[in-house]
Amino acid sequence: MKKSFSLKWFVAISFLALGLLLVFGYSWLAARYFMLGMDNMLTMQMEQAGERYLSTVPKAQRSTPRDFEGFLITPDWQQLPAEMRRAFGSPPVNNSELVKQGPGVAKPPEELYFLIGYQQDDDRVFISRSISPATISSIVESNVRGNLHTLALISGASALALAAIIWLLLQRVSGPVARLGNWTRSLNPEMLKAPVPDFSYPELNDMAELIRNSLTSVEESLEREHRFLRHASHELRTPITTVRSNAELLRKLKEESGGDPREQLALERIERASLTMKHLTETLLWLGRDSGERLPENTFALDQLVRQLAADLDYLLRDKEVSLEIDTEPCEVTLPEVVARILLGNLIRNAFQHTSRGSVAIRQRNCRVEIFNQQHNNGDTSGELGFGLGLQLTARLSERLGWRYVNRPQRGGRRAILWLTES
């Protein structure tokens, strides 16, 4: 399972990365402009030195290199020191363009070379200067180091201030969000009736109100459903009992007096429909009960219950080309018998009802009951009815009792397995 990334940390890291990018970007930009400023000052000094050199030194005395105002000025490229020519490779092309070079690239150079070509009218000279740690004055070095330290200090302080602001912002926002989450997780029917707490922000308060209204609506719907199940189940039991008792009375009267066979068929349909309604009513009644209510248990023979249910529902296989196989072994269990009867009756009825031509196999081993129906006529889609109300009720009842229940489609049929014990 992929581990999800917290929204809080995602926002924090995103803001921090963006802030650090801006801090380091502006720090690099400040350092670059600092160096450009130093280069511009040096270029201006070299130009001024070249201008004064050409105006004060006679042309006849310019044939040899000369130190002038701290710069080496030469009329020819070849008169520059050999190490400087090696460092630059070729003379600068543009007028008053500063070029600088150090002898090494892999490590900081021990000496830096600066060079410009300065031209005034027809006179052109090369003005150069070399700087090494030994030639830099202590004041200049101190100023440069101080400026770099100040830049680094400002950058670090900006990064720390940004991190602190982001942390405070997240604490200010994540606190109410966390309280909203805790409040939502702890909601129950009693808390839904209480006013919504204040979560500091109107948006969170609106969300909390929306959550409470939604859950209240769901709770009211469930309560109405439970009331309907309880009332309907209780109200239906009396008429169903009346129908079954009168159908039994009619059967006995017909056995004594005889009668039309069509009346016998109609009577059987009434008995079957009343039996189905009886099972469905018992199922709805169990589902309508409170989940905390302990169900009454008794000891019974599971194998005999399976065979009895199959015999009671055998009428669903009449006039059908369906072979029935029942394989059981003696097993006594102490469970809620009524619920076991409802669950197994639903599964067996589903298999019988939705197999028109094929086979049904019922196998019971200890507390495990397996029901498999095979449909031979592939064109019949009645097997899709296996997703009906009976199986939905079976799934809900088995989940409430903690019994393991599996219902899987197979090739041409369906296999249902029920373990009548907690998984």
Quote the distance between the C-alpha of residue 30 and its chain's center: 42
Structure confidence at residue 327 (pLDDT): 93
Separation between Cα atoms, residue 114 and residue 100, nearest integer Å: 4
User: CA nearest 300: which of 347, 337, 330?
Assistant: 337
Contact (Cβ atoms closer than 8 angstroms) between residue 372 and residue 413: yes
**CB-based contacts of 50-59 (< 8 A; 24+ apart in sequence):** 50/116, 50/118, 50/120, 50/125, 50/127, 51/118, 51/120, 53/125, 53/127, 54/118, 54/120, 54/123, 54/125, 59/123
Exposure string (b/e) for 130-146, b if CB count within 10 Å is 16 or more? Answer: ebeeeeeeeeeeeeeee
DSSP states of 265-299: HHHHHHHHHHHHHHHHHHHHHHHHS-TTSPPP-EE
Q: Quick one: CA torsion of 322, 325, 326, 328, rounded to 10 degrees?
A: -160
User: CA nearest 44: which of 96, 3, 92?
Assistant: 96
User: CA nearest 336: which of 365, 274, 293, 372?
Assistant: 293
User: CA nearest 166: which of 11, 333, 377?
Assistant: 11
Contact (Cβ atoms closer than 8 angstroms) between residue 118 and residue 127: yes
DSSP 67: E
DSSP states of 306-327: HHHHHHHTGGGGTTSEEEEEEE
Go through the domains of the chain in sequence order and give each one's CATH number.
Answer: 7-155 (no CATH), 187-293 (1.10.287), 295-422 (3.30.565.10)
Structure confidence at residue 381 (pLDDT): 41
Structure confidence at residue 134 (pLDDT): 62
Which CA distances in Å does 297 have to 17, 268, 290, 329, 338?
A: 64, 32, 17, 21, 9
DSSP 197: P
pTM score above 0.95: no
For each of the chain's 423 residues, which pLDDT tens digit applies?
A: 456 556 667 777 777 777 778 877 877 887 788 778 878 888 888 888 888 888 888 887 888 888 888 888 898 888 888 888 888 888 887 888 888 875 444 445 567 888 888 888 888 888 888 887 666 656 656 766 777 787 778 878 877 887 788 778 777 777 777 787 888 888 777 777 778 778 777 877 888 888 878 877 877 777 777 777 666 666 666 777 777 777 777 777 777 666 666 677 667 767 766 766 776 676 666 666 655 556 678 899 999 999 988 988 888 888 888 899 999 999 999 988 877 888 888 889 888 888 888 899 999 999 999 999 888 765 444 444 333 556 777 787 788 888 899 988 887 788 999 998 865
Which two tokens mark 405? Answer: 């229940």
Structure confidence at residue 385 (pLDDT): 38
Separation between Cα atoms, residue 272 and residue 312, nearest integer Å: 9
User: CA nearest 305: which of 281, 277, 280, 328?
Assistant: 328
One-letter amino acid at 267 equals L
